[in-house]
Structure 1
């Protein structure tokens, strides 16, 4: 762990259908070089706001690099998680939103942290502003200009994915209806994504179940025993009377 958790990395809004495209090319068995070419062609006339129109080579390259890093060539320690996510996507395409959310959170913890601050604010109030989210992120990442600029891209991505809705006031958002995750194995995959997005690679089960970074979803309640039986990559450690800590194996 390390670099991945400090980097911001997302330099353009990333639309849900672009994530789908990258994953589908991978599922089709294409090699990395071909996928990169296909994505460049696919994005040639698609803008970040979803409209058609030429985009600069530089912004297109940013997005293609992000998509490649998320699905096609993630860091070596993320490959088992990527493979499991891809298998899930093949079997349960209806749950694509949660699978892509978990994948992008693991590869780019900045996305996860923007989501966490957004979810925290939405737990306290009905609407949240871009400024409120960015101010909280600055406490974590420092007051760098890149933090506010790139956070805006992530927030716009949340809207494009349907996780947030624009309110009548500019720069102000409200929560969309949450997606219910009924499949426990998918919930466990999402816990794993949270552990991968956290530098310590561990977290209390209760806190993971209610993690504000998963504000667009409703996760099923489950026990640590259940998680350890279903996941080969997560260890469960008991502490206190009934508290359970999940941690990634090998950490």
Structure 2
């Protein structure tokens, strides 16, 4: 079951990458939590804040999960070993697949900034609160998401209240592209999604990526079916 909000702390790239490395080394469950706590301890004075951050990192990379198929999570660990230089893709795919609030916020950013590459924070806040409620919890969670995006260097903040998209990361590897396609299908809690929708997914704004039959056809976890003028991608 996916958390209703769940994204209640900001994250650093170094924390995500080290947590992913633990998971790729087949560390899971209680042992993974212990390792993450040791990783975070020097950076925190508040036990409560550290525990929340640990739980979020654990939720993203723990392979013993019910919110997405274990096979999908395990594949992320395998891909990390062969594409460690593009670990952002894997962190991102897991966060959108497992945390609907994160997916919603980054999707709105992608929509607002699609043409000019910039957005005003107040406009984003208005869209998020309209959808999720005008509460302090929602506003704080949105702040945590935006700060995480800054830490991941997918956004810059050229002036107060305004954010700019950074240069997107080019995704070449077919296996990463196919895994990202599956991630957005899980993010929408679906079994399939049209190729056109996947290619126009606003939550993929940090990446320069094209999804087509050529780079998806060999993915063992996906099936492609032609329907009318589009191709539909099914999770097998």
**TM-score relative to the length of structure 1:** 0.86
Structure 2 distance, partners of 1:189, 1:74, is 17
| Uncovered stretches (5+) of structure 1, i.e. residues with no partner | 47-53
User: Alpha-carbon deviations, 1:107-160, whole Å to 9, x = none?
Assistant: 112212111100111113342122211222233323343222101100110010
Q: What residue is the counterpart of 2:164 in the other structure?
A: 174
Aligned 1:175-214 pairs, distance under 5 A: 175-214=165-204
Q: What residue is the counterpart of 1:106 in the other structure?
A: 97
TM-fit CA distance, 1:244: 1.4
Q: What residue is the counterpart of 1:30 in the other structure?
A: 27
Note if contact 1:184-1:220 (Cα within 8 Å) is conserved in structure 2: no
1:124 equivalent to 2:115? Answer yes
Q: What residue is the counterpart of 1:51 in the other structure?
A: none
Q: What residue is the counterpart of 1:233 in the other structure?
A: 221
Structure 1 distance, partners of 2:191, 2:211, is 21
TM-fit CA distance, 1:102: 0.6
Q: What residue is the counterpart of 2:11 in the other structure?
A: 14
| Equivalent position to 1:90, from 78, 81, 86 | 81
| Uncovered stretches (5+) of structure 2, i.e. residues with no partner | none
SS state at 1:14 partner: coil
Cα distance 1:14–1:201, how it changes in 2: closer, same or farther (>3 A)? farther
Structure 1 distance, partners of 2:116, 2:191, is 29
Q: What residue is the counterpart of 1:245 in the other structure?
A: 232
Q: What residue is the counterpart of 1:50 in the other structure?
A: none
The count of aligned residue pairs is 235
Structure 1 distance, partners of 2:67, 2:162, is 38
SS state at 1:124 partner: coil
Note if contact 1:68-1:74 (Cα within 8 Å) is conserved in structure 2: no
User: Alpha-carbon deviations, 1:132-190, whole Å to 9, x = none?
Assistant: 1122223332334322210110011001000001112x231101000000112101111
Structure 1 distance, partners of 2:191, 2:5, is 18
| Equivalent position to 1:44, from 33, 41, 45 | 41
Structure 2 distance, partners of 1:144, 1:18, is 28
Structure 1 distance, partners of 2:27, 2:227, is 46
Note if contact 1:74-1:107 (Cα within 8 Å) is conserved in structure 2: no
Note if contact 2:37-2:51 (Cα within 8 Å) is conserved in structure 1: yes
Note if contact 1:16-1:160 (Cα within 8 Å) is conserved in structure 2: yes
Q: What residue is the counterpart of 1:65 in the other structure?
A: 55
SS state at 1:230 partner: coil
Structure 2 distance, partners of 1:129, 1:208, is 26
SS state at 1:7 partner: coil
Cα distance 1:28–1:233, how it changes in 2: closer, same or farther (>3 A)? closer
SS state at 1:123 partner: coil
